[in-house]
Amino acid sequence: MSRFAPTALALCGLAARSLGWRPHEFWAATPAELATSLGLLAPGAADPGLDRQALKRLMEHDNGR
Q: Are 40 and 18 in contact (CB under 8 A)?
A: no
Domain boundaries, the chain: 4-63
Q: What is the pLDDT of residue 28?
A: 92
pLDDT per residue as tens digits for the range 18-59:
899 898 998 899 888 888 888 876 655 555 567 778 878 878
